[in-house]
Structure 1
Amino acid sequence: MDQSDSYKKFVGGKRYVLDEELAKIVNISMALEMPLLLKGEPGT
């Protein structure tokens, strides 16, 4: 199995708009099994 396929990639959802940069950040966090801490107003 290729290393890039060894974890589930996040690509967004029906009601969630995701740009390419944020997708990379989320996928790296999932691959490293480390939390991703976000700050800001919800929904922005």
Structure 2
Amino acid sequence: MTIMLEDDLVKKLRVKQSKMLQETNDTVSFSHVINETLRTCLKMK
């Protein structure tokens, strides 16, 4: 599957990824950040 993300969203997700990396010693993939963000947002609705 391929999705297109707008530049402003990519920047926000990269910031979130950076914060997640600082909080752990593990790797945090960009895909993981996207999936976690979507899960969180979809639970709210």
Q: TM-score, normalised by structure 2?
A: 0.43
More helix by share: 2
Q: TM-score, normalised by structure 1?
A: 0.44
Q: Which has the larger radius of gyration?
A: 1
